[in-house]
Amino acid sequence: METISIKFDGKDYAARRGSTILAVALESQKLPASFMRVDIPAPYYYKGINDIDESGVCVVEVDGKLVNASNTRIKPGMEVATRSEAVTAARKEALSKILAIHDKDCTSCFRTDNCEFQELLYQYGFTDEAWLPSEEKVALDTSSRVLVRDNNKCIRCRRCVNVCTKIQSVSAIECTGEGLEAVIAPASPSGLDAASCVNCGQCVAVCPVGALFEKDESQDVLAAIADSEKFVIAQVAPAVRATLGEAFEFPLGVDVEKRIPAALRELGFDKVFDAKFGADLTIMEEANEFMERMQNDGVLPMITSCCPGWIKYCEHFYPNMIENLSSCKSPHQMLGAIAKSYYAEQLGIDKENIVVVSIMPCTAKKYERQRDGESGAGVPDVDVVLTVRELARILEKAEVQIEAVPFEAFDAPFGLGTGAGVIFGASGGVMEAALRTAVEKLTKEELKSLEFSDVRGMSGIKEASYTAAGIEIKVAVVSGLGNANSLLQRVSSGEAYYDFIEVMACPGGCINGGGLPYPSAITRAQEDVRAKRASALYSSDTRSKIRKSHENPMIVQLYESYLGEPGSEKAEQLLHTFYAVR
């Protein structure tokens, strides 16, 4: 790596040749606190999505001229001023223009204290603004069952447009016009719901302000808890333990699993279950379905079905591959169905009075719970889905201090999950969990190593081949719908062949879901957020006493006493679903 010398505000820096000024500044933020770090604001920038920041705020002074730091490359001996009077004046002018189109109801906005734009306004002295709503408001777009668009707060950064188009290959949101006069809108005039939106929430995850958000179901949960006739169950997805802490200033990648049960009990939930039990249940059914297809000339490749964003994408864009989808419900839907059948019978409670609340890293789960085919016991498997952000807000309002609650275990009988279940939250985790069970079932031998390292990691597309009982199994793991599109085009054309494919809509998997706390764009540029979150899940797997789904004793008991065997008539009724061309 060739480096060259440049100066920032009179201080010498060694920087990689070919870098932009902004890239060098971002690298400097990784230096120890004792070093001089370079701060260049870039409210439109988002690594890999908006690499050029056209906000007018991302400027510096070079040789007496103002230049855009995000597209100006460094040269040997270059002297960059980041805090001159001209730079400060230009940034304030650009911020004031953006502020003029932004609804200033900051005190009541849910992004207050977690808004990238608001932080810049404070930094540059916009502290005497009248924080009042705009007098000329446009109506909210509430056409989606899951997401809300508030164009009154949109600052025209185009992050949502680019992530939807470039990363997800959905193009449900589009931009017309230039600069601050641009119009950001759904691709359909009827709104997001008609624009083939798959509800993945990646647009929400990258929005720097409060222009995009999930439909909040907090009040439904609080009302159910307050109703003495309701038995309210919370189930917590694997990725939640690796991400909830971020909303309470824990460092990235801290596992707060043991704090979650006590926090939810303080809110008033009757039972707190671990959705990795549902993941183990999914593996039992999915591995069985895969072996059935392999051994009986079924439709291959079989493609995983636990990601509702991917399922809706397939229904819209690859209807010819619907038969390739596993018929298994996702883990939280399976656990909901069991809670309202087996568990209701065990407790002698009317299933109509059981309320299942799923706490998920995902916005698409809100849509999934409303789909046809998700009422295995004759009532909805899941009643409410809360994102991690919604749960964090509930905990804050209830003054539950997650850093102070005692360590407690999840409740029996569905608090016991395996290491295989917990890695569901990372790209490749579903495949690895399924292989642990499928390979042992096929070979009838115990695996010497449980790590299927080839399917791990944050690469968008991973491929591997394994041999079990003399059968070669070709697999692929893909995350991010743009990557899924590329892979499925190769499969459809016959260029590539696989037996089993795992697809997750969000790049990196559920640990990068659309319902998680908001790391800023600068944090995302400096740290591998996805890898740190995933590492917490793999560490949990390594520590687990039981690491294979088929060895979960409660899973074994559930089949022996109630379901019979994977793929049985009762299992089909409760744990499997169907799909539709859209």
Rounded to an integer, the average pLDDT of 251-259 is 97
Tokens of 192: 């997001």
The encoded tokens of residue 228 equal: 């003495």
Max distance between CA atoms of the chain, in angstroms, equals 79
Structure tokens belonging to residue 394:
């509930």
pLDDT in tens, 541-569: 999 999 999 999 999 999 999 999 999 99
* Model pLDDT for residues 193-230, shown as the tens digit of each residue: 888 999 999 999 999 999 999 999 999 999 999 999 99
DSSP code at position 328: B
**Fold agreement (147-215, 219-575):** no
Output DSSP code: residue 50: B
* CA 198 – CA 335 distance, rounded (Å): 23
Grade residue 134 by pLDDT with cuts at 50, 70 and 90: low
Give the CA angle between residues 84, 56, 108 to the nearest 5°: 105
Q: Tell which residue, 23, 27, 26, 4, has the closest CA to residue 79.
A: 4
- 107 pLDDT band (50/70/90 cuts)? confident
Query: CATH number of the domain at 147-215, please?
Result: 3.30.70.20
Listing DSSP states for 349-409 in one string gives: --GGGEEEEEEES-SHHHHHTTSTT--TTSS-S-SEEEEHHHHHHHHHHTT--TTTSPP-P
Is-contact 549 435, C-beta < 8 A? no
**pLDDT tens digit string along 40-83?**
999 999 999 999 999 999 999 999 999 999 999 999 999 999 99
Enter the CATH code of domain 219-575.
3.40.50.1780
- At a CB cut-off of 8 Å and minimum separation 6, what does 202 contact? 163, 164, 167, 168, 505, 506, 507, 514
Instruction: Tell me the whole-structure pTM to 2 decimals.
Output: 0.95
Q: Is 3-96 CATH 3.10.20.740?
A: yes
Give burial (CB, 10 Å; 0-12/13-18/19+) of 539: middle
d(CA 395, CA 290): 41
Question: Can you tell me which residue has the tokens 């009040």?
Answer: 219
Residues in the chain: 582
Count the alpha carbons within 13 Å of 564 in the hemisphere toward its beta carbon. Answer: 10
Q: Where are the domains of the chain?
A: 3-96, 147-215, 219-575
What mean pLDDT is reported for the chain? 95
Is a pLDDT exceeding 60 seen at residue 540? yes
